[in-house]
Structure 1
Amino acid sequence: MSRSPFSLFSQQYFAALLNSFGTVYLNEPVPRNPKLRIYKHPARSDFGTAVLGALTEGSPQVWVNPEIIAEAEVVDVLFEPDPTASKAVLGILGDLLIQPCIIESLRSLPTSWEFRACLGHWLRWQVESDGSIIPVDEAAPIDNEDACEENDEAEELECDRRLLVIVPQMTAQQLEGWGARLSGCQIAGLYELPPIYATTIVCTRELPETAETLWLRLLSRGSTQRKAIQDLIKLEPNHPLRSVTLHSLQSWYQRLSEDTQNRESKLLMQLLSQIEL
Protein backbone atom coordinates (compact mmCIF):
# COMPACT_ATOMS: atom_id res chain seq x y z
CA MET A 1 0.00 0.00 0.00
CA SER A 2 1.39 3.38 -1.01
CA ARG A 3 2.04 5.90 1.73
CA SER A 4 1.53 9.65 1.67
CA PRO A 5 4.58 11.95 1.58
CA PHE A 6 3.78 12.96 5.16
CA SER A 7 3.74 9.34 6.40
CA LEU A 8 7.12 8.74 4.77
CA PHE A 9 8.45 11.98 6.23
CA SER A 10 7.27 11.15 9.76
CA GLN A 11 8.91 7.72 9.57
CA GLN A 12 12.22 9.15 8.38
CA TYR A 13 11.91 11.97 10.91
CA PHE A 14 11.52 9.64 13.89
CA ALA A 15 14.16 7.22 12.61
CA ALA A 16 16.70 10.07 12.46
CA LEU A 17 15.54 11.96 15.55
CA LEU A 18 15.33 9.00 17.95
CA ASN A 19 18.27 6.95 16.70
CA SER A 20 20.50 7.95 19.63
CA PHE A 21 17.82 7.36 22.27
CA GLY A 22 16.74 3.79 21.59
CA THR A 23 15.69 1.45 18.79
CA VAL A 24 13.27 2.64 16.10
CA TYR A 25 11.26 0.06 14.14
CA LEU A 26 9.52 1.15 10.94
CA ASN A 27 6.56 -0.73 9.43
CA GLU A 28 6.60 -3.13 12.37
CA PRO A 29 4.08 -6.00 12.19
CA VAL A 30 1.60 -6.40 15.03
CA PRO A 31 1.60 -8.91 16.70
CA ARG A 32 5.39 -8.89 16.50
CA ASN A 33 5.70 -12.65 17.06
CA PRO A 34 4.96 -14.40 13.72
CA LYS A 35 3.46 -17.38 15.60
CA LEU A 36 0.67 -15.13 16.88
CA ARG A 37 -0.50 -13.87 13.49
CA ILE A 38 -3.75 -15.17 12.09
CA TYR A 39 -3.88 -17.74 9.33
CA LYS A 40 -6.86 -18.84 7.30
CA HIS A 41 -6.70 -22.59 6.76
CA PRO A 42 -8.46 -24.57 4.03
CA ALA A 43 -11.60 -26.50 4.87
CA ARG A 44 -11.09 -30.22 5.47
CA SER A 45 -13.63 -31.07 2.80
CA ASP A 46 -13.01 -30.30 -0.86
CA PHE A 47 -16.75 -30.20 -1.58
CA GLY A 48 -16.55 -26.64 -2.90
CA THR A 49 -13.70 -27.57 -5.23
CA ALA A 50 -15.65 -30.53 -6.61
CA VAL A 51 -18.82 -28.48 -7.21
CA LEU A 52 -17.05 -25.59 -8.92
CA GLY A 53 -14.92 -28.03 -10.88
CA ALA A 54 -18.05 -29.66 -12.24
CA LEU A 55 -19.63 -26.30 -13.10
CA THR A 56 -16.52 -25.23 -14.98
CA GLU A 57 -16.14 -28.58 -16.77
CA GLY A 58 -13.34 -29.78 -14.55
CA SER A 59 -11.05 -26.84 -15.08
CA PRO A 60 -7.77 -27.54 -13.24
CA GLN A 61 -7.61 -23.83 -12.27
CA VAL A 62 -10.44 -24.17 -9.73
CA TRP A 63 -9.28 -24.42 -6.11
CA VAL A 64 -11.49 -23.54 -3.16
CA ASN A 65 -10.23 -22.55 0.28
CA PRO A 66 -6.48 -22.42 -0.29
CA GLU A 67 -4.44 -21.58 2.77
CA ILE A 68 -4.09 -17.81 2.98
CA ILE A 69 -1.69 -15.98 5.23
CA ALA A 70 -3.42 -12.89 6.55
CA GLU A 71 -1.81 -9.60 5.65
CA ALA A 72 0.12 -8.43 8.68
CA GLU A 73 -1.00 -5.13 10.18
CA VAL A 74 1.91 -2.77 10.57
CA VAL A 75 2.54 0.36 12.58
CA ASP A 76 4.54 3.20 11.06
CA VAL A 77 6.83 3.70 14.05
CA LEU A 78 7.51 1.58 17.13
CA PHE A 79 10.11 2.86 19.59
CA GLU A 80 11.94 1.01 22.35
CA PRO A 81 13.87 3.52 24.49
CA ASP A 82 17.36 3.05 25.84
CA PRO A 83 16.90 3.57 29.61
CA THR A 84 20.48 4.80 29.94
CA ALA A 85 20.14 7.58 27.35
CA SER A 86 19.06 11.03 28.51
CA LYS A 87 16.18 12.40 26.42
CA ALA A 88 16.27 15.93 27.83
CA VAL A 89 17.16 17.43 24.45
CA LEU A 90 13.83 16.11 23.07
CA GLY A 91 11.84 18.25 25.49
CA ILE A 92 8.24 17.11 25.98
CA LEU A 93 8.64 14.41 23.33
CA GLY A 94 11.37 12.84 25.44
CA ASP A 95 9.06 12.83 28.47
CA LEU A 96 6.49 10.90 26.44
CA LEU A 97 8.95 8.23 25.30
CA ILE A 98 10.21 6.76 28.56
CA GLN A 99 8.42 3.45 27.83
CA PRO A 100 8.15 1.27 24.72
CA CYS A 101 5.74 3.13 22.49
CA ILE A 102 3.82 2.99 19.22
CA ILE A 103 3.89 6.41 17.56
CA GLU A 104 1.06 7.29 15.18
CA SER A 105 1.32 10.61 13.30
CA LEU A 106 -1.78 11.77 11.44
CA ARG A 107 -1.75 14.70 9.04
CA SER A 108 -5.38 15.77 9.49
CA LEU A 109 -8.23 15.69 11.97
CA PRO A 110 -8.63 11.93 12.56
CA THR A 111 -11.84 10.11 11.77
CA SER A 112 -13.24 7.66 14.32
CA TRP A 113 -12.05 4.81 12.09
CA GLU A 114 -8.49 6.15 11.98
CA PHE A 115 -8.35 6.58 15.74
CA ARG A 116 -9.78 3.10 16.33
CA ALA A 117 -7.10 1.70 14.03
CA CYS A 118 -4.38 3.39 16.10
CA LEU A 119 -5.86 2.04 19.32
CA GLY A 120 -6.29 -1.39 17.76
CA HIS A 121 -2.57 -1.60 16.98
CA TRP A 122 -1.72 -0.83 20.59
CA LEU A 123 -4.27 -3.32 21.95
CA ARG A 124 -2.82 -6.14 19.83
CA TRP A 125 0.68 -5.28 20.98
CA GLN A 126 -0.36 -5.10 24.62
CA VAL A 127 -2.28 -8.38 24.52
CA GLU A 128 0.75 -10.04 22.92
CA SER A 129 3.06 -8.71 25.63
CA ASP A 130 0.63 -9.88 28.33
CA GLY A 131 0.97 -13.43 27.03
CA SER A 132 -2.78 -13.59 26.48
CA ILE A 133 -2.47 -14.91 22.90
CA ILE A 134 -1.62 -18.60 22.56
CA PRO A 135 0.07 -19.79 19.33
CA VAL A 136 -2.06 -22.34 17.48
CA ASP A 137 0.60 -25.05 17.87
CA GLU A 138 1.03 -24.66 21.63
CA ALA A 139 -1.08 -25.88 24.52
CA ALA A 140 -2.81 -23.48 26.87
CA PRO A 141 -1.14 -23.14 30.30
CA ILE A 142 -2.66 -25.05 33.20
CA ASP A 143 -4.94 -22.78 35.21
CA ASN A 144 -3.93 -23.17 38.83
CA GLU A 145 -3.36 -20.96 41.83
CA ASP A 146 0.44 -20.87 41.41
CA ALA A 147 0.09 -19.76 37.79
CA CYS A 148 -2.39 -17.07 38.79
CA GLU A 149 -0.02 -15.78 41.45
CA GLU A 150 2.84 -15.67 38.93
CA ASN A 151 0.65 -13.77 36.48
CA ASP A 152 -0.33 -11.26 39.15
CA GLU A 153 3.35 -10.66 39.98
CA ALA A 154 4.19 -10.27 36.28
CA GLU A 155 1.43 -7.68 35.87
CA GLU A 156 2.77 -5.70 38.81
CA LEU A 157 6.32 -5.70 37.38
CA GLU A 158 5.33 -5.11 33.76
CA CYS A 159 6.30 -1.85 32.08
CA ASP A 160 3.21 -0.75 30.17
CA ARG A 161 3.57 -0.24 26.47
CA ARG A 162 2.16 3.08 25.39
CA LEU A 163 0.47 4.66 22.41
CA LEU A 164 1.34 8.18 21.28
CA VAL A 165 -1.06 9.71 18.73
CA ILE A 166 0.13 12.99 17.21
CA VAL A 167 -2.52 15.01 15.36
CA PRO A 168 -2.91 18.67 14.40
CA GLN A 169 -6.14 18.90 16.37
CA MET A 170 -9.22 17.08 17.63
CA THR A 171 -12.65 18.45 18.35
CA ALA A 172 -13.97 18.77 21.89
CA GLN A 173 -16.64 16.20 20.99
CA GLN A 174 -14.00 13.71 19.85
CA LEU A 175 -11.91 14.14 22.99
CA GLU A 176 -14.96 13.76 25.20
CA GLY A 177 -16.17 10.74 23.23
CA TRP A 178 -12.88 8.93 23.75
CA GLY A 179 -12.75 9.87 27.43
CA ALA A 180 -9.64 12.03 26.96
CA ARG A 181 -8.67 14.47 29.69
CA LEU A 182 -6.00 17.16 29.86
CA SER A 183 -2.69 15.61 30.88
CA GLY A 184 -1.59 15.88 34.48
CA CYS A 185 1.44 17.93 33.40
CA GLN A 186 -1.01 20.75 32.58
CA ILE A 187 0.49 21.51 29.17
CA ALA A 188 -2.01 22.66 26.56
CA GLY A 189 -2.43 20.15 23.77
CA LEU A 190 -1.57 17.01 25.77
CA TYR A 191 -4.47 14.68 26.57
CA GLU A 192 -4.63 11.27 28.20
CA LEU A 193 -7.15 8.48 27.67
CA PRO A 194 -8.24 6.49 30.75
CA PRO A 195 -5.19 4.76 32.30
CA ILE A 196 -6.16 1.30 31.05
CA TYR A 197 -5.44 2.45 27.47
CA ALA A 198 -2.00 3.99 28.23
CA THR A 199 -2.55 6.50 25.42
CA THR A 200 -1.44 10.11 25.01
CA ILE A 201 -2.94 12.37 22.35
CA VAL A 202 -0.90 15.37 21.24
CA CYS A 203 -2.88 18.14 19.51
CA THR A 204 0.04 20.03 18.02
CA ARG A 205 -1.85 23.24 17.21
CA GLU A 206 -2.59 23.73 20.91
CA LEU A 207 1.00 23.35 22.11
CA PRO A 208 2.80 26.42 23.43
CA GLU A 209 5.46 27.70 21.02
CA THR A 210 8.50 26.88 23.13
CA ALA A 211 11.74 24.99 22.60
CA GLU A 212 10.29 22.13 24.67
CA THR A 213 7.54 21.49 22.11
CA LEU A 214 9.58 22.03 18.92
CA TRP A 215 9.99 18.35 17.98
CA LEU A 216 6.24 17.79 18.25
CA ARG A 217 5.20 21.01 16.46
CA LEU A 218 7.30 19.99 13.45
CA LEU A 219 4.67 17.28 12.86
CA SER A 220 1.79 19.74 12.80
CA ARG A 221 0.52 21.52 9.70
CA GLY A 222 -0.21 25.01 8.43
CA SER A 223 1.16 28.02 10.29
CA THR A 224 2.01 25.94 13.38
CA GLN A 225 4.35 23.71 11.40
CA ARG A 226 5.88 26.57 9.43
CA LYS A 227 6.66 28.41 12.67
CA ALA A 228 8.30 25.25 14.03
CA ILE A 229 10.47 24.92 10.91
CA GLN A 230 11.57 28.55 11.32
CA ASP A 231 12.44 27.82 14.97
CA LEU A 232 14.45 24.79 13.88
CA ILE A 233 16.43 26.78 11.30
CA LYS A 234 17.29 29.36 13.99
CA LEU A 235 18.86 26.75 16.29
CA GLU A 236 22.60 26.84 16.79
CA PRO A 237 24.42 25.00 13.97
CA ASN A 238 26.00 22.63 16.49
CA HIS A 239 22.66 21.57 18.03
CA PRO A 240 22.76 17.73 18.14
CA LEU A 241 19.37 17.31 16.40
CA ARG A 242 19.32 20.24 13.99
CA SER A 243 21.17 18.67 11.06
CA VAL A 244 19.41 15.28 11.00
CA THR A 245 16.02 16.97 11.23
CA LEU A 246 16.80 19.38 8.40
CA HIS A 247 17.85 16.40 6.25
CA SER A 248 14.44 14.79 6.90
CA LEU A 249 12.67 18.01 5.93
CA GLN A 250 14.72 18.26 2.73
CA SER A 251 13.69 14.73 1.75
CA TRP A 252 10.07 15.64 2.37
CA TYR A 253 10.49 18.72 0.17
CA GLN A 254 11.62 16.49 -2.70
CA ARG A 255 8.56 14.25 -2.30
CA LEU A 256 6.21 17.23 -2.16
CA SER A 257 7.69 18.49 -5.42
CA GLU A 258 6.30 15.42 -7.13
CA ASP A 259 2.72 15.85 -5.92
CA THR A 260 -0.15 18.13 -6.82
CA GLN A 261 0.13 21.27 -4.76
CA ASN A 262 -2.53 23.11 -2.78
CA ARG A 263 -2.05 26.50 -1.14
CA GLU A 264 -0.79 25.05 2.14
CA SER A 265 1.72 22.81 0.37
CA LYS A 266 3.01 25.70 -1.71
CA LEU A 267 3.63 27.81 1.41
CA LEU A 268 5.37 24.87 3.04
CA MET A 269 7.53 24.26 -0.03
CA GLN A 270 8.55 27.91 -0.15
CA LEU A 271 9.83 27.60 3.42
CA LEU A 272 11.48 24.21 2.91
CA SER A 273 13.30 25.52 -0.15
CA GLN A 274 15.18 27.92 2.13
CA ILE A 275 16.81 25.14 4.15
CA GLU A 276 20.58 25.14 3.89
CA LEU A 277 22.74 22.50 5.53
Structure 2
Amino acid sequence: MKRTKSCRICRYYEPDENFCAVAPNYIGKAHLCADFELGIELDEEEEPIDLKTFTYEQFSKAFLEKLLSPYGKVETERTLTIPPSPDIDLWFAPRVSELPQDLGLLARLAKTRALLEPYHHPVTPDEISASLIKLLEVQGEFHRAADREKDSVGLDLPRLWILGSSISEETLEGFGAEASTKEETGIYVMAPAFKTGLVAIDELPNSKETLWLRLLGRGKVRHQAILELVALPAHHSLRSVSLELFYNLLSSLEALPEKDDEDCLLIELLRSCQVEDS
Protein backbone atom coordinates (compact mmCIF):
# COMPACT_ATOMS: atom_id res chain seq x y z
CA MET A 1 0.00 0.00 0.00
CA LYS A 2 1.35 3.42 -0.93
CA ARG A 3 2.36 5.59 2.03
CA THR A 4 2.77 9.33 1.97
CA LYS A 5 3.84 12.03 4.38
CA SER A 6 0.91 14.18 5.37
CA CYS A 7 -0.55 16.44 8.01
CA ARG A 8 -1.67 14.22 10.87
CA ILE A 9 -4.61 16.47 11.66
CA CYS A 10 -6.17 17.39 8.32
CA ARG A 11 -4.34 14.72 6.24
CA TYR A 12 -3.48 17.19 3.47
CA TYR A 13 -0.72 15.78 1.28
CA GLU A 14 0.85 16.10 -2.14
CA PRO A 15 0.37 12.68 -3.79
CA ASP A 16 2.66 13.35 -6.75
CA GLU A 17 5.78 14.27 -4.80
CA ASN A 18 5.50 12.23 -1.59
CA PHE A 19 6.32 15.04 0.82
CA CYS A 20 4.38 16.77 3.53
CA ALA A 21 2.61 19.58 1.75
CA VAL A 22 2.71 21.84 4.80
CA ALA A 23 6.45 21.47 5.38
CA PRO A 24 8.30 24.80 5.73
CA ASN A 25 9.78 24.62 2.23
CA TYR A 26 6.33 24.34 0.71
CA ILE A 27 4.26 26.76 2.77
CA GLY A 28 3.32 28.63 -0.37
CA LYS A 29 1.69 25.54 -1.83
CA ALA A 30 -0.77 24.55 0.88
CA HIS A 31 -3.22 25.92 3.40
CA LEU A 32 -1.82 25.44 6.91
CA CYS A 33 -3.91 23.38 9.28
CA ALA A 34 -4.05 25.16 12.66
CA ASP A 35 -2.61 22.19 14.56
CA PHE A 36 -0.64 20.31 11.93
CA GLU A 37 2.16 17.90 12.77
CA LEU A 38 4.89 17.34 10.22
CA GLY A 39 6.53 14.22 8.98
CA ILE A 40 3.91 11.68 10.00
CA GLU A 41 3.55 8.78 7.60
CA LEU A 42 0.00 7.55 7.15
CA ASP A 43 -1.61 4.91 5.01
CA GLU A 44 -3.83 6.61 2.48
CA GLU A 45 -6.77 4.55 3.70
CA GLU A 46 -6.19 5.26 7.40
CA GLU A 47 -8.98 7.05 9.22
CA PRO A 48 -8.28 10.66 10.24
CA ILE A 49 -7.05 11.02 13.79
CA ASP A 50 -9.55 11.75 16.57
CA LEU A 51 -8.53 15.33 17.30
CA LYS A 52 -10.08 15.41 20.78
CA THR A 53 -8.34 12.21 21.91
CA PHE A 54 -5.11 13.46 20.34
CA THR A 55 -5.39 16.75 22.27
CA TYR A 56 -5.90 15.10 25.65
CA GLU A 57 -3.24 12.44 25.16
CA GLN A 58 -0.67 14.97 23.94
CA PHE A 59 -1.36 16.91 27.14
CA SER A 60 -0.85 13.78 29.25
CA LYS A 61 2.50 13.03 27.63
CA ALA A 62 3.68 16.65 27.90
CA PHE A 63 2.60 16.72 31.55
CA LEU A 64 4.47 13.54 32.47
CA GLU A 65 7.52 14.69 30.52
CA LYS A 66 7.59 18.02 32.38
CA LEU A 67 7.36 16.34 35.79
CA LEU A 68 9.91 13.60 35.13
CA SER A 69 12.52 15.18 32.84
CA PRO A 70 14.54 16.80 35.68
CA TYR A 71 15.21 13.34 37.11
CA GLY A 72 15.99 11.16 34.12
CA LYS A 73 15.85 10.59 30.39
CA VAL A 74 12.39 11.05 28.91
CA GLU A 75 11.40 10.12 25.38
CA THR A 76 7.92 10.67 24.00
CA GLU A 77 6.83 8.75 20.92
CA ARG A 78 9.92 6.53 21.21
CA THR A 79 10.24 4.42 18.07
CA LEU A 80 10.82 0.71 18.52
CA THR A 81 13.54 -1.02 16.53
CA ILE A 82 11.17 -3.59 15.03
CA PRO A 83 8.75 -1.99 12.56
CA PRO A 84 5.86 -1.51 12.16
CA SER A 85 5.28 -1.42 15.92
CA PRO A 86 3.55 1.71 17.27
CA ASP A 87 5.65 4.20 19.20
CA ILE A 88 5.92 4.11 22.99
CA ASP A 89 3.92 6.99 24.47
CA LEU A 90 6.56 7.85 27.06
CA TRP A 91 9.82 6.16 28.06
CA PHE A 92 11.53 7.11 31.31
CA ALA A 93 14.97 6.08 32.58
CA PRO A 94 15.81 7.65 35.96
CA ARG A 95 19.27 9.07 36.56
CA VAL A 96 18.73 9.64 40.28
CA SER A 97 18.46 6.98 42.95
CA GLU A 98 15.22 8.42 44.30
CA LEU A 99 12.66 10.81 42.87
CA PRO A 100 11.32 13.67 45.03
CA GLN A 101 8.56 12.78 47.46
CA ASP A 102 6.55 15.71 46.05
CA LEU A 103 5.77 13.51 43.04
CA GLY A 104 3.98 11.05 45.31
CA LEU A 105 2.69 7.93 43.57
CA LEU A 106 4.24 9.00 40.27
CA ALA A 107 7.69 8.85 41.90
CA ARG A 108 7.02 5.26 42.93
CA LEU A 109 5.94 4.26 39.43
CA ALA A 110 9.00 5.88 37.86
CA LYS A 111 11.65 4.65 40.29
CA THR A 112 12.93 2.23 37.62
CA ARG A 113 13.04 2.33 33.82
CA ALA A 114 9.49 2.24 32.60
CA LEU A 115 7.09 2.62 29.71
CA LEU A 116 4.22 4.95 30.64
CA GLU A 117 1.06 4.68 28.54
CA PRO A 118 -1.62 7.24 29.53
CA TYR A 119 -5.20 6.95 28.28
CA HIS A 120 -7.77 9.70 28.65
CA HIS A 121 -10.61 7.25 27.99
CA PRO A 122 -11.44 3.92 29.67
CA VAL A 123 -8.71 1.48 28.69
CA THR A 124 -9.75 -1.36 26.39
CA PRO A 125 -8.32 -4.90 26.31
CA ASP A 126 -6.92 -4.25 22.83
CA GLU A 127 -5.02 -1.21 24.10
CA ILE A 128 -3.58 -3.18 27.01
CA SER A 129 -2.50 -5.93 24.60
CA ALA A 130 -0.84 -3.35 22.34
CA SER A 131 1.02 -1.89 25.32
CA LEU A 132 2.20 -5.34 26.38
CA ILE A 133 3.59 -5.92 22.88
CA LYS A 134 5.58 -2.69 23.20
CA LEU A 135 6.94 -3.82 26.57
CA LEU A 136 8.00 -7.21 25.21
CA GLU A 137 9.77 -5.59 22.27
CA VAL A 138 11.64 -3.20 24.57
CA GLN A 139 12.60 -6.08 26.82
CA GLY A 140 13.78 -7.90 23.71
CA GLU A 141 16.09 -4.97 22.94
CA PHE A 142 17.57 -5.29 26.43
CA HIS A 143 18.06 -9.05 26.04
CA ARG A 144 19.76 -8.63 22.66
CA ALA A 145 22.08 -5.96 24.04
CA ALA A 146 22.96 -8.22 26.98
CA ASP A 147 23.66 -11.12 24.61
CA ARG A 148 26.01 -8.97 22.54
CA GLU A 149 27.89 -7.96 25.67
CA LYS A 150 27.64 -11.48 27.12
CA ASP A 151 26.25 -10.02 30.32
CA SER A 152 22.73 -11.17 31.10
CA VAL A 153 23.25 -11.74 34.83
CA GLY A 154 20.98 -9.52 36.89
CA LEU A 155 19.41 -7.92 33.81
CA ASP A 156 17.10 -5.15 35.03
CA LEU A 157 14.19 -5.16 32.60
CA PRO A 158 11.87 -2.14 32.34
CA ARG A 159 8.30 -2.11 33.61
CA LEU A 160 5.07 -1.03 31.97
CA TRP A 161 2.56 1.26 33.65
CA ILE A 162 -0.80 1.76 31.97
CA LEU A 163 -2.53 4.89 33.25
CA GLY A 164 -6.24 4.84 32.46
CA SER A 165 -8.97 7.28 33.40
CA SER A 166 -10.83 4.09 34.32
CA ILE A 167 -10.42 0.34 33.84
CA SER A 168 -13.37 -2.01 34.02
CA GLU A 169 -13.40 -4.94 36.42
CA GLU A 170 -13.97 -7.26 33.46
CA THR A 171 -10.84 -5.95 31.73
CA LEU A 172 -8.75 -6.34 34.88
CA GLU A 173 -9.98 -9.89 35.40
CA GLY A 174 -9.28 -10.72 31.77
CA PHE A 175 -5.59 -9.95 32.27
CA GLY A 176 -5.40 -11.49 35.72
CA ALA A 177 -4.60 -8.11 37.28
CA GLU A 178 -5.04 -7.89 41.03
CA ALA A 179 -4.92 -5.05 43.54
CA SER A 180 -1.31 -4.31 44.46
CA THR A 181 -2.16 -4.18 48.16
CA LYS A 182 -5.31 -4.29 50.25
CA GLU A 183 -4.53 -0.81 51.55
CA GLU A 184 -4.26 0.93 48.15
CA THR A 185 -7.11 1.40 45.71
CA GLY A 186 -6.75 1.98 41.99
CA ILE A 187 -3.39 0.23 41.53
CA TYR A 188 -3.32 -3.22 39.96
CA VAL A 189 -0.52 -5.54 38.93
CA MET A 190 -0.29 -8.53 36.62
CA ALA A 191 1.73 -11.65 37.40
CA PRO A 192 5.35 -10.72 38.30
CA ALA A 193 6.80 -12.06 35.03
CA PHE A 194 4.78 -9.49 33.06
CA LYS A 195 6.34 -6.56 34.96
CA THR A 196 3.15 -4.62 34.28
CA GLY A 197 0.95 -2.44 36.43
CA LEU A 198 -2.30 -0.62 35.75
CA VAL A 199 -3.60 2.52 37.42
CA ALA A 200 -7.34 3.17 37.40
CA ILE A 201 -7.21 6.90 38.03
CA ASP A 202 -10.88 7.20 38.97
CA GLU A 203 -10.30 4.79 41.88
CA LEU A 204 -7.35 6.63 43.42
CA PRO A 205 -7.98 8.28 46.79
CA ASN A 206 -7.98 12.07 47.03
CA SER A 207 -4.57 12.71 48.57
CA LYS A 208 -1.35 14.57 47.90
CA GLU A 209 0.20 11.21 47.06
CA THR A 210 -2.07 10.74 44.04
CA LEU A 211 -2.53 14.35 42.89
CA TRP A 212 -0.22 14.26 39.86
CA LEU A 213 -1.91 11.17 38.45
CA ARG A 214 -5.44 12.35 39.18
CA LEU A 215 -4.67 15.42 37.06
CA LEU A 216 -4.58 12.97 34.13
CA GLY A 217 -8.07 11.68 34.89
CA ARG A 218 -11.30 13.04 33.52
CA GLY A 219 -14.57 14.58 34.68
CA LYS A 220 -15.00 15.13 38.41
CA VAL A 221 -11.71 13.39 39.20
CA ARG A 222 -9.67 15.84 37.14
CA HIS A 223 -11.73 18.84 38.29
CA GLN A 224 -11.09 18.05 41.95
CA ALA A 225 -7.39 17.56 41.25
CA ILE A 226 -7.16 20.91 39.42
CA LEU A 227 -8.73 22.68 42.40
CA GLU A 228 -6.15 21.00 44.66
CA LEU A 229 -3.38 22.09 42.28
CA VAL A 230 -4.53 25.71 42.33
CA ALA A 231 -4.71 25.59 46.14
CA LEU A 232 -1.03 24.65 46.46
CA PRO A 233 1.28 27.40 47.76
CA ALA A 234 2.38 29.79 45.02
CA HIS A 235 6.02 28.82 45.61
CA HIS A 236 5.39 25.08 45.11
CA SER A 237 7.90 23.84 42.56
CA LEU A 238 5.35 22.00 40.41
CA ARG A 239 2.37 24.32 40.65
CA SER A 240 3.31 26.91 38.03
CA VAL A 241 4.64 24.46 35.42
CA SER A 242 1.53 22.29 35.78
CA LEU A 243 -0.85 25.22 35.46
CA GLU A 244 1.02 26.45 32.39
CA LEU A 245 0.42 23.09 30.72
CA PHE A 246 -3.25 23.21 31.66
CA TYR A 247 -3.59 26.69 30.19
CA ASN A 248 -2.02 25.37 26.98
CA LEU A 249 -4.61 22.59 27.07
CA LEU A 250 -7.29 25.25 27.51
CA SER A 251 -6.22 26.92 24.27
CA SER A 252 -6.30 23.59 22.45
CA LEU A 253 -9.75 22.73 23.80
CA GLU A 254 -11.13 26.13 22.84
CA ALA A 255 -9.96 25.48 19.27
CA LEU A 256 -11.74 22.12 18.99
CA PRO A 257 -14.47 22.24 16.34
CA GLU A 258 -16.72 20.01 18.46
CA LYS A 259 -16.95 19.97 22.25
CA ASP A 260 -19.03 17.84 24.60
CA ASP A 261 -20.29 18.78 28.06
CA GLU A 262 -17.13 17.46 29.73
CA ASP A 263 -14.92 19.62 27.50
CA CYS A 264 -17.05 22.70 28.19
CA LEU A 265 -16.94 22.19 31.95
CA LEU A 266 -13.16 21.79 31.86
CA ILE A 267 -12.81 24.92 29.73
CA GLU A 268 -14.96 26.87 32.19
CA LEU A 269 -12.92 25.63 35.16
CA LEU A 270 -9.57 26.41 33.54
CA ARG A 271 -10.71 29.88 32.51
CA SER A 272 -11.73 30.54 36.10
CA CYS A 273 -8.39 29.28 37.40
CA GLN A 274 -6.53 31.40 34.87
CA VAL A 275 -8.36 34.54 35.99
CA GLU A 276 -7.67 33.83 39.67
CA ASP A 277 -4.05 33.00 38.92
CA SER A 278 -3.37 36.18 36.95
Band the TM-score falls in, shorter-chain normalisation: 0.7 to 0.9
Distance 1:198 1:108, change over 3 A: same
Aligned partners of 2:241, 2:98: CA distance in 1, in Å?
Answer: 18
User: 1:101 and 2:114 equivalent?
Assistant: yes
Residues 10-89 of structure 1: pairs in structure 2 closer than 5 A:
10-31=60-81, 37-38=82-83, 71=84, 73-89=86-102
Distance 1:228 1:75, change over 3 A: same
Letter matched to residue 107 of structure 2: G
Q: Could you tell me which residue of structure 1 aligns to residue 141 of structure 2?
A: 128
Aligned equivalent of 2:200, options 200, 203, 206: 203
Aligned equivalent of 2:124, options 111, 117, 120: 111
Q: Could you tell me which residue of structure 2 aligns to residue 144 of structure 1?
A: none
Mind listing any 5+ residue stretches in structure 2 that lack a counterpart?
A: 1-7, 9-48
| Equivalent position SS for 1:270 | helix
| Equivalent position SS for 1:165 | strand
Residues 227-266 of structure 1: pairs in structure 2 closer than 5 A:
227-259=224-256, 260-266=258-264
Structure 1 residues 80-89 or 261-270, which shifts more?
Answer: 80-89
Contact map agreement 2:80 2:86 (CA 8 A) in 1: yes
Aligned equivalent of 2:189, options 183, 187, 192: 192
User: 1:273 and 2:271 equivalent?
Assistant: yes
Aligned partners of 1:86, 1:103: CA distance in 2, in Å?
Answer: 16
Aligned partners of 1:86, 1:265: CA distance in 2, in Å?
Answer: 33
State the Cα deviation string for residues 124-179 of structure 1 (Å, max 9, x = none): 10111111899xxxxxx8xxxxx9xx66xx24x12220111000111111111101
Aligned partners of 2:189, 2:247: CA distance in 1, in Å?
Answer: 33
Q: Could you tell me which residue of structure 2 aligns to residue 45 of structure 1?
A: none
Residues 133-148 of structure 1: pairs in structure 2 closer than 5 A:
none
Contact map agreement 2:204 2:210 (CA 8 A) in 1: yes
State the Cα deviation string for residues 236-259 of structure 1 (Å, max 9, x = none): 011111111111111111111111
State the Cα deviation string for residues 38-85 of structure 1 (Å, max 9, x = none): 5xxxxxxxxxxxxxxxxxxxxxxxxxxxxxxxx453112111112245
Letter matched to residue 231 of structure 2: K
Aligned partners of 1:223, 1:116: CA distance in 2, in Å?
Answer: 28
Deviation at 1:87, TM superposition (A): 2.4
Letter matched to residue 204 of structure 1: I
Aligned partners of 2:99, 2:140: CA distance in 1, in Å?
Answer: 29
Aligned partners of 2:175, 2:222: CA distance in 1, in Å?
Answer: 26
Aligned partners of 1:170, 1:179: CA distance in 2, in Å?
Answer: 13
Q: Could you tell me which residue of structure 2 aligns to residue 216 of structure 1?
A: 213
Aligned equivalent of 1:7, options 54, 57, 65: 57
Aligned partners of 2:191, 2:97: CA distance in 1, in Å?
Answer: 29
Deviation at 1:197, TM superposition (A): 1.0
Mind listing any 5+ residue stretches in structure 1 that lack a counterpart?
A: 32-36, 39-70, 135-140, 142-146
Letter matched to residue 76 of structure 2: L
Q: Which of the pair has more CA radius of gyration?
A: 1
Contact map agreement 2:71 2:94 (CA 8 A) in 1: yes
Q: Please report the RMSD computed on the Cα atoms of aligned residues, expressed in angstroms.
A: 2.1
Scaled by the length of structure 2, the TM-score of the pair is: 0.75
Contact map agreement 2:74 2:90 (CA 8 A) in 1: yes
Aligned partners of 2:93, 2:145: CA distance in 1, in Å?
Answer: 21
Instruction: Give me the identity figure in percent.
Output: 28
Distance 1:88 1:185, change over 3 A: farther
Between the two proteins, the alignment pairs up a number of residues equal to 224
| Equivalent position SS for 1:73 | coil
Contact map agreement 2:178 2:190 (CA 8 A) in 1: yes
